[in-house]
Chain A
Amino acid sequence: MTAHRPSADGGPDRDPSAEQAPAAGPGTAPTGRVTTGFGRYLLKHLSGAAVSLLLVLFSSFFIFRLIAGDPIDQLTRERPVTPEQREAMRAELGLDQPLWNQFLDYITGTLTGDLGTSLQYRQPISELVLERLPATLLLSGTGVVLAVLLGFWIGTRAGWKQGSRFDRSHVAAGLLLYSAPTFWLGMIVILVFARYLGLFPVNGMRSASTPDGLLSQALDIGHHMVLPVLTYTAVVYAGYLMVMRSSILDEIGADYLTTARAKGLRDDAVRRRHAVPNALLPTITMVFLAIGNIVNGAIITETVFSWPGLGSLFVSSIFYPDRPMLQALFVLFSSSTIIAVLCAEILYWFIDPRIRKS
């Protein structure tokens, strides 16, 4: 049982040689130096993130000008209009402004929190985004958590017993699902579980007939969530599986594991208490990226299942083309990823001593 002690200290036990160096550092230097080191590190990454955000802000305006098409064509797609009517619509939607003015409006608007008005929904974009954010967080949040847990769990075991039947069958199954087109898989899932077995609703998030009560609404949403979450998880978990597996493979020959075994630990305990904590380190970036990606939603899954989230909003905006909406969503998606990566980098300072050392 003594082997459990290092974990009880709060941190995972690590290769002892790596732990000694930082332990020597704070001992010799005044604490101020560490703060300065962290300050510099933080500043460097904060400024990097700020530059990225600015680039996203500027580029998103121009990227979506590249999508061809006149939004008025969509507005008037099945009913012809006179030239005067087109002009009135153009003026009201602000499409008659010179590009430069539109750019300035966009920059000042975005910086002051006014994301503009959607062309296709003709509502303030911030309202639309806030309305749909919970649906997206619910679907992809659940999906990401499940995918990460499942991927790490299988990946650890697959890597630990590389070449075993467990390894081969799970890697094959994971990669098969990973390479399956989400759209196709989603339709198959709908046909099997909703159409033929009748276990779950075909799509949507709530039924029109569900009473207003909190409990019945929550249960109804849970019922609708199963198939999209299943589809999303099935498609992405292999990514986490493969990273965790190769991370375990990197650790598997390490001396500290031999030491642990020499102490008489069971194989299972060696894996869980010694190999996994160290193997998790490189996957942190990936987990944070996944958290950042929760906002983008599962774009295709949302579309197949008519899930009223940000992903399906993005898709319908592309076809319009609803440029103000696309700009806003692009900035939102990109900044959530940038911020997630920034958080990962900050976290590394605290959990990876090699960074403090350098």
Chain B
Amino acid sequence: MTRRLSAAGAALALSAGILTATSTQAAAQDDGEVDRLLVATDQEVDTFNPFKSRYIITYETNLMTYDTLIRTGAENYEPVPGLASEWQESDDGLTWTFTIREGVEWSDGESLTAEDVAYTYDLLISDPAIHDWNIDFAGNLVSAEAPDDTTFVLTLKEAAPAEVLNAGIFIVPKHIWETYPDPSADDANDRMPLVGSGPFQVSEYRANELVRLEANEEYWDGAPGFDEIVYDYYSEGDAAVAALEAGEVDLVRGLNPAQMEALEGQDHVTVNNAQGRRFVSLILNHGAQTADGELYGDGHPALRDPVVRQALHTAIDKAELVDKVLDGNGDPAVSIIPAIFEQWHWDGGDELVQFSIDEANRLLDEAGYERGEDGIRTMPGGGDPLSFRFYHHADYTDYANVVQFVTEWWEELGLEIVSEPIEQGSLNDLVYLGEYDIAFSGWGVGPNPTEMLAMHTCEVLPTTTDGSERSHENFYCNEEYDALHEQQVVEPDPEARAELVREQQRILYQDAPVIWLYYQNVLEAYNHERVDDFTVQPAEGGMITGQQGFIWSFLSATPVGGEDDGGVSTGVLMGAGAVLLVLVAGGAFLFMRRRSTADERE
């Protein structure tokens, strides 16, 4: 037995030695001719039809394949020229005139004119399916025209400056799209390589294997530094981290604090801990209702009282949550618009709620929620006890940790907290049916604050009680808030608009239908021996991945070193040859072993 084991050990060590020599070369090196940026991803592709795609990965491939008229700046999310070098808004805000850059070419060599732009915007108006799918923007369009090759004129039903500036409509080539039998079909735009005018075009897609984009060397804003970008699939975050450590992938996003810590110790890895666009919040069932004001669901009546909601808010130490749950990788949240959008963010000022269990207790005492014999408060006049169901997503360990801290604080207020982890789909169902008291929510916020703020307007309240209408966050409706919302949507002056947007945030904060807990940092890491010069967004402490309105980072990124000369094919061949060798050796070993056992058994 021992003899055989040592023989096996020797065989393994020998084959491992051969393999190490060959396949590290195979795995780590690239073919010398193509500079390729490998980005780890785990997201499926929905569709390459830019009018229909909704996933983050296709948002990014669209941003690279196509141009938009106006980009979102790398500096501070401000609107900056894209395909349109300048634009002019009429006094009534209904007519927008864009000047389209001259000399821009599609990736197939045809020239791009205002005619292509008009064709694209006209699809939003006249193709019924594309119109419906993009109704929030398309519903406001009247006409799209190109009086000459460099002028594009867009007419609106109602003034909506922020919507036009942030529309991010991907301009598609008319000469290609005209040949599509149905431009709204999900598979309409599947012929590779895609034709666009952006810095990289999607050239190959293998479901759950890779998405390949090739550089547009003639890009009007300068040729990209890399020849190719490849999104490579890693369904497990830990596998992506291992691949970054092993040099198999260059950029990994969505790290957790433990992974980031492990990567910080690697010489070839740079970790980027960037301020994030995402908030995590607690939504309170302050009274589920339909647009007609019909109350439904089974939320606890105490949560309809703003005093109770504000007491809950006062008894949360957000700084402690950031420190303990996020390991410091985030910031305590105040309002619905994260601090990263400093032009829109409301920071609380003098009205900022300070953590105090005593103050929270005082609020509840004054409002008449007295403690019963068991220490649990009851409704004023000795009604039901204040016992709240607290639902969190079963697959988010962060949320489970938050629940532990918060429950402890709230129990000091004389509240009974019944927490329960629930699978995401069921949790959403319960929330929209109004069958919860307190639950988690979280959103990644974009540069246009309207998207988030609109979720708290009366207009999006459900018309039925079946929980199927889900455009609202948690049944909020407030006329004063709505009036501000209508003003800010049409306000052309950014400063004046910011005032209105901040006032909206203040109302939400005071009324507390939602308690914003923290803004989560973006944790990402890259191999600086392979890639450098990422432009981050925003300029100060910004992120590489998850950029909005244009992917500045991938355009500016440049390959580092030029050490590759062996060529991957020989490396792989040798590595695979070694595997074959091991298999043959293993087979021979087994065969011999079998012979020897047979002899022994004689």
Chain A residues close to B by CB (< 8 Å): 67-70, 72-73, 75-76, 78-89, 91-92, 120-123, 128, 131-132, 157, 165-166, 187, 190-191, 194-195, 197-211, 213, 215-216, 219-220, 222-223, 226, 266-268, 303-306, 308, 312-313, 315-316, 321
Segment from B28-36, B144-152, B477-485 that makes contact with A? B28-36
> A203 CA to B208 CA in the complex, in Å?
12
**Is B7 part of the contact surface with A, judged by Cβ < 8 Å?**
no
Complex partner residue of A70 from B1, B429, B452, CB under 8 angstroms: B429
Complex partner residue of B23 from A92, A223, A312, CB under 8 angstroms: A223
Pairs across A and B, CB under 8 Å, 9 listed: A69-B429, A70-B470, A83-B460, A120-B44, A123-B186, A187-B238, A223-B23, A268-B598, A303-B236
- Rounded to whole Å, the gap between the CB of A151 and the closest CB of chain B is 14
Segment from B99-107, B134-142, B295-303, B495-503 that makes contact with A? B134-142
Complex partner residue of B424 from A69, A204, A215, CB under 8 angstroms: A69
Closest 5 CB pairs of A and B: A69-B425, A219-B576, A88-B132, A68-B426, A202-B243
Chain B, residues 195-228, CB within 8 Å of chain A (1/0): the string is 0000000000011111010000000000000001
Contact: A190 with B44, CB < 8 Å?
A: no
> A288 CA to B212 CA in the complex, in Å?
40
- Rounded to whole Å, the gap between the CB of A240 and the closest CB of chain B is 16
Q: For A70, what are the chain B residues with a Cβ–Cβ distance below 8 Å?
A: 425, 428-429, 468, 470
In the complex where A122-B47, A208-B36, A313-B208 touch, is A304 in contact with B576 (Cβ < 8 A)?
no
In this complex, how many residues of chain B approach chain A with their Cβ under 8 Å: the count is 81
Q: For A89, what are the chain B residues with a Cβ–Cβ distance below 8 Å?
A: 133
> A198 CA to B210 CA in the complex, in Å?
22
Interface positions, chain B 99-142, Cβ under 8 Å from A, are: 129, 132-136, 139
Contact: A266 with B602, CB < 8 Å?
A: yes
Segment from B83-91, B338-346, B553-561, B566-574 that makes contact with A? B566-574
Q: For A203, what are the chain B residues with a Cβ–Cβ distance below 8 Å?
A: 234-236, 239, 243
- Rounded to whole Å, the gap between the CB of A101 and the closest CB of chain B is 17
> A190 CA to B30 CA in the complex, in Å?
21
In the complex where A69-B425, A209-B30, A321-B425 touch, is A222 in contact with B579 (Cβ < 8 A)?
yes
Q: For A312, what are the chain B residues with a Cβ–Cβ distance below 8 Å?
A: 208, 235
Q: For A266, what are the chain B residues with a Cβ–Cβ distance below 8 Å?
A: 601-602
**Other A-B pairs beyond A73-B425, A128-B207, A226-B579, 5, CB < 8 Å:** A70-B428, A88-B129, A92-B133, A121-B46, A313-B208
In the complex where A122-B186, A198-B27 touch, is A82 in contact with B460 (Cβ < 8 A)?
yes
In the complex where A78-B444, A81-B136 touch, is A308 in contact with B568 (Cβ < 8 A)?
no
Contact: A207 with B234, CB < 8 Å?
A: no
> A265 CA to B577 CA in the complex, in Å?
42
Q: For B239, what are the chain A residues with a Cβ–Cβ distance below 8 Å?
A: 187, 190, 202-203, 304-306
In the complex where A82-B460, A84-B135, A195-B245 touch, is A68 in contact with B601 (Cβ < 8 A)?
no
Contact: B470 with A223, CB < 8 Å?
A: no
Interface centre among B23, B236, B429 (most CB of A within 10 A): B236
Contact: B209 with A204, CB < 8 Å?
A: yes
> A83 CA to B291 CA in the complex, in Å?
12
- Rounded to whole Å, the gap between the CB of A158 and the closest CB of chain B is 12
Q: Which residue on chain B has the smallest CB distance to residue A223? A: B576
Complex partner residue of B573 from A88, A166, A208, A219, CB under 8 angstroms: A219
Contact: B207 with A79, CB < 8 Å?
A: no
- Rounded to whole Å, the gap between the CB of A7 and the closest CB of chain B is 17
**Is B386 part of the contact surface with A, judged by Cβ < 8 Å?**
no
Contact: A85 with B470, CB < 8 Å?
A: no
Q: For A121, what are the chain B residues with a Cβ–Cβ distance below 8 Å?
A: 44-46, 207
Contact: A211 with B243, CB < 8 Å?
A: no
Complex partner residue of B597 from A92, A123, A157, A306, CB under 8 angstroms: A157
Q: For A210, what are the chain B residues with a Cβ–Cβ distance below 8 Å?
A: 568-569, 572
> A199 CA to B20 CA in the complex, in Å?
5
- Rounded to whole Å, the gap between the CB of A77 and the closest CB of chain B is 9
Interface positions, chain B 37-75, Cβ under 8 Å from A, are: 38, 44-47, 52, 54, 56
Interface centre among B443, B471, B573 (most CB of A within 10 A): B471
> A75 CA to B26 CA in the complex, in Å?
38
> A312 CA to B187 CA in the complex, in Å?
23
- Rounded to whole Å, the gap between the CB of A139 and the closest CB of chain B is 13
Contact: A195 with B460, CB < 8 Å?
A: no
Q: Which residue on chain B has the smallest CB distance to residue A75? A: B54
Contact: B429 with A80, CB < 8 Å?
A: no
- Rounded to whole Å, the gap between the CB of A279 and the closest CB of chain B is 17
- Rounded to whole Å, the gap between the CB of A209 and the closest CB of chain B is 5
> A70 CA to B452 CA in the complex, in Å?
20
Q: For B139, what are the chain A residues with a Cβ–Cβ distance below 8 Å?
A: 84
Q: Which residue on chain A has the smallest CB distance to residue B42? A: A306
Contact: A132 with B207, CB < 8 Å?
A: yes
Q: For B208, what are the chain A residues with a Cβ–Cβ distance below 8 Å?
A: 132, 306, 308, 312-313, 316
Interface positions, chain B 443-498, Cβ under 8 Å from A, are: 443-444, 446, 451-452, 454-455, 460, 468-471
**Is B517 part of the contact surface with A, judged by Cβ < 8 Å?**
no
In the complex where A78-B56, A123-B186 touch, is A209 in contact with B20 (Cβ < 8 A)?
no
Q: For A303, what are the chain B residues with a Cβ–Cβ distance below 8 Å?
A: 235-236
Contact: B20 with A190, CB < 8 Å?
A: no
> A122 CA to B1 CA in the complex, in Å?
56
- Rounded to whole Å, the gap between the CB of A326 and the closest CB of chain B is 13
Q: Which residue on chain B has the smallest CB distance to residue A216? A: B569
Contact: A194 with B242, CB < 8 Å?
A: yes
**Is B370 part of the contact surface with A, judged by Cβ < 8 Å?**
no
In the complex where A69-B428, A82-B135 touch, is A195 in contact with B597 (Cβ < 8 A)?
no
> A89 CA to B184 CA in the complex, in Å?
12
In the complex where A70-B429, A122-B186, A306-B233 touch, is A198 in contact with B246 (Cβ < 8 A)?
yes
**Is B16 part of the contact surface with A, judged by Cβ < 8 Å?**
yes
**Is B24 part of the contact surface with A, judged by Cβ < 8 Å?**
yes
Contact: A219 with B572, CB < 8 Å?
A: yes
Q: For A122, what are the chain B residues with a Cβ–Cβ distance below 8 Å?
A: 46-47, 52, 186-187
> A68 CA to B54 CA in the complex, in Å?
22
Q: For B576, what are the chain A residues with a Cβ–Cβ distance below 8 Å?
A: 219-220, 222-223
Q: For B425, what are the chain A residues with a Cβ–Cβ distance below 8 Å?
A: 67-70, 73, 321
Contact: A216 with B460, CB < 8 Å?
A: no
**Is B19 part of the contact surface with A, judged by Cβ < 8 Å?**
yes
Q: For B36, what are the chain A residues with a Cβ–Cβ distance below 8 Å?
A: 208-209
**Is B411 part of the contact surface with A, judged by Cβ < 8 Å?**
no
In the complex where A86-B469, A306-B234 touch, is A216 in contact with B572 (Cβ < 8 A)?
yes
Q: Which residue on chain B has the smallest CB distance to residue A200? A: B23
Q: For A207, what are the chain B residues with a Cβ–Cβ distance below 8 Å?
A: 568, 572
Q: For A88, what are the chain B residues with a Cβ–Cβ distance below 8 Å?
A: 129, 132-133, 135
Interface centre among B23, B208, B246 (most CB of A within 10 A): B208
Q: Which residue on chain B has the smallest CB distance to residue A128? A: B207
**Is B408 part of the contact surface with A, judged by Cβ < 8 Å?**
no
Interface positions, chain B 355-413, Cβ under 8 Å from A, are: none
Interface centre among A132, A204, A208, A305 (most CB of B within 10 A): A208
Contact: B26 with A223, CB < 8 Å?
A: yes
Q: For A200, what are the chain B residues with a Cβ–Cβ distance below 8 Å?
A: 19, 23, 27
Q: Which residue on chain A has the smallest CB distance to residue B134? A: A85
Contact: B470 with A72, CB < 8 Å?
A: yes
Contact: A83 with B469, CB < 8 Å?
A: yes
Q: Which residue on chain A has the smallest CB distance to residue B26? A: A223
**Is B248 part of the contact surface with A, judged by Cβ < 8 Å?**
yes
> A70 CA to B427 CA in the complex, in Å?
11
